[in-house]
Amino acid sequence: MPLTIPELVLVDLDGTLIDSVPDLAYAVDAMMKQLDLPERGEEKVRNWVGNGVERLVKRALLDQLDGEPDPELFKSAMQLFDIFYTECNARYSRVYPGVRKGLNWLKSQGAVLICITNKDEKFTIPLLESLDLHHYFRIILSGDSLPKKKPDPLPLLHAAKKCKIKPKNSLILGDSINDVQAGRAAGFSVVCVSYGYNHGQDINLAKPDAVIDSFIDLSSVFEK
């Protein structure tokens, strides 16, 4: 069933707008090498991203999705990761095909665009600016902008209130179950891309309102 074109669209960053895994994998492997631990490689990192940097670092240290590493080791690892990721942020990341065309289409429909991510602001802003995406968004909500982040609905409700737009007239566009859960809890419509970071799980299983293969397909999701 086609959706109504929303007044407000919140767009996730990593795995939706850009493929940031090459940068993250570089930082993870540099961190691991500095700790005299085995490098993990891009394939593993691609399956671990999507829940913030702290969880990514923990997964790298443990070489698995769940669990808690030694607190002192984790503290050292976080310091190293911060250094290496700051150094390489936006160096290898790429905007997914069709993203700019899709964002331009949304703006042509009168939608207010906000970028919403669990990535810290110190990484988010330089990344968006380096890839020339910053200007599309009225507001950028990073993982440390508010007391809670996705999958909590707080950032979504904050954005809707800030723009004076009702949640029922709003949409979140993302790639993971975090985005679906946040959208449902906030009363937003939810559209997901099929290519993002969802720990190897088919995003259709999370039951968003629609799944697209490219931002170019956005216009087909909404009522004409």
Q: What is the CATH number of the domain that holds 209?
A: 3.40.50.1000
| Same-domain pairing of 51 and 15 | no
* pLDDT of the residue at 224: 64
Which are the contacts of 141, defined by CB distance < 8 A and separation ≥ 6? 10, 114, 115, 116, 117, 155, 158, 159
pTM of the model: 0.94
| Same-domain pairing of 50 and 150 | no
Q: Is residue 60 part of a domain?
A: yes
Tokens of residue 85, six digits: 């990721």
Among 12, 14, 19, 175, the one annotated catalytic:
12
Structural domain that includes position 126: 8-19+94-221
Low pLDDT (below 50) residues in the chain:
none
Mean pLDDT of the chain: 96
| Same-domain pairing of 131 and 166 | yes
* pLDDT of the residue at 2: 82
What residues pair up with 88 in beta bridges, in sequence order?
none
| Same-domain pairing of 151 and 103 | yes
Which are the contacts of 72, defined by CB distance < 8 A and separation ≥ 6? none
| Same-domain pairing of 98 and 83 | no
| End-of-domain residue from the set 57, 88, 119 | 88
| Same-domain pairing of 180 and 119 | yes
* pLDDT of the residue at 199: 87
| Same-domain pairing of 212 and 111 | yes
| Same-domain pairing of 111 and 53 | no
Establish whether 12 is a catalytic residue: yes
How many domains does the chain contain in total?
2
| End-of-domain residue from the set 88, 116, 139 | 88
| Same-domain pairing of 109 and 82 | no
| End-of-domain residue from the set 41, 57, 88 | 88
* pLDDT of the residue at 178: 95
Dihedral sign computed on CA atoms, order 121, 82, 195, 186: negative
Which are the contacts of 215, defined by CB distance < 8 A and separation ≥ 6? 96, 98, 99, 100, 101, 102, 103, 105, 193
Residue 29 Ramachandran class (φ > 0 left, ψ -120 to 50 alpha, else beta): alpha
| Same-domain pairing of 156 and 70 | no
C-alpha distance across the termini of the chain, in Å: 12
* pLDDT of the residue at 1: 67
* pLDDT of the residue at 57: 98
Amino acid in position 153? P
| Same-domain pairing of 77 and 99 | no
